[in-house]
Structure 1
Amino acid sequence: MTALQRKLAEARAEGRAALVGYYPAGLPDVDSSVRVIEAMVAGGCDVIEVGLPYSDPTMDGPVIQQASDAALAAGTTPKDVLAVVRATAETGAAALVMSYWNPIEQYGVDAFAADMAAAGGAGVITPDLIPEEAGPWIRASDASGLDRIFLVAPSSTDQRLKLTCDASRGFVYAASLMGVTGTRDKVAATARKLVQRVRGATRDSGLPVCVGLGISNGAQAAEVASYADGVIVGSGFCRRVLDAPDLDTACAQVRDFAAELAEGVRSAAR
């Protein structure tokens, strides 16, 4: 089992969903981003998605775009991202990378998979890569023992759900709404129905389903945790760092936010 698979299995054994936090490497700089991630884990995150900053993040809303732009302006490179992955794995959390496909292709698909595994990474989320075009990545991730996480959306047909779930390993990422990332006042009504549809596509494999896009507080985390295997939160963490007057304040606020979310996933009736 990968570190990701172990974390999801441990959460399931405890009768709860896993808490998955996203944070871009290099915000506001590489060393500081490690401190923020350590605070996320201290607050209760089981899994960390280390974002690889990208100049054209088509899935991401204004908060994560601002965070990525700041990380790029600070000079963050893919090698820096892998250093953050290594530091994240050392916290005991499962370390993933979330990256658009172009940076991985430019790095070299086989080289990225090998370097990710060497850094202690468990898997990679590729939001703009579809299984039909993922042959090189499937081969590279198999060779390096990495989980590969593809996305499904409310618009996905049953055929596409099955295709995507069959190609995924670790978990399948259920984007709860048709839109970009960002905190919202309530969880999209489409989220529960999408998870139910994914359950049908994963009946044989039992592949976990994690839900992201729009979760902004502990009550929403509890709601999603009542029917999903994992709750994914990103913009809320980034916003707290972007708004904080200094790094110590940012880390304290991030830790408190993670603790609120962790309490939510643990309080959900399952």
Structure 2
Amino acid sequence: PLGDAEIALTREQLGWKYAPFEIPSEIYAQWDAKEAGQAKESAWNEKFAAYEKAFPQEAAEFTRRMKGDMPADFDAKANEFIAKLQANPSKIASRKASQNAIEAFGPLLPEFLGGSADLAPSNLTLWSGSKAINEDAAGNYIHYGVREFGMTAIANGIALHGGFLPYTSTFLMFVEYARNAVRMAALMKQRQVMVYTHDSIGLGRRWPDAPAGRAGGKPARNAEHVHMASVRPGGIRGGVEIWRRASGWPNRADPLPSEPGAAGTY
């Protein structure tokens, strides 16, 4: 590293006459955005107040989604769906149970914004209301291509913006490609549902699958991330409850219920 003498000479050559960590007033003034930001926020608030007066229902929905609150009828309708599952038990793959949950909750949650890294038919994260986002930005599903890191990072940005509930999906073995973005989501405490399927010991073979799983110690690595809930369902109801909890995670911390005969939940 440069010593004090070399640092002094460098500053002299650069024409920098200020003390260490001193910010010249003219530079500070150029970067000080408080007044401009306050003016823009005030203008936006005035516009939204007028919008709220003209369109109260739409404004209330916008406010709900930006706050991350759940619709008033969500719990009741989720309970109805779970009751139907219990009344008509079936044996299906956990990723299919996950898709059924998305199918049930999708119409209730217009903020759902799904996507997959080129594996949507295998991850089963498409539902009947899915509409691809391409030239038409009014869709609700993003086909990310083989871009696990890009997918997760983009979903982080969507979550930071607010108003949407992004969910992403790929095979569990590919979580390592997205690891940095996964870690950032956890550190930032952002709401993103990450669906990882095909969780076999034989990585990539289509054996038991779930929204989170056992492959190669990866669930343990996921669990290492503070603020990240890594959950594997042990039955169909467990898979539905995971989606129910994940959809409103910032505002609830209730545990998953036990399911008779279920095994492998963690």
**TM-score by structure 2 length?**
0.34
**TM-score by structure 1 length?**
0.34
Ranked by relative contact order (alpha carbons within 8 Å, sequence separation 6 or more), the top structure is 1
Structure with greater Cα Rg: 2
Of Structure 1 and Structure 2, which has the larger fraction of its residues in strand?
A: 1
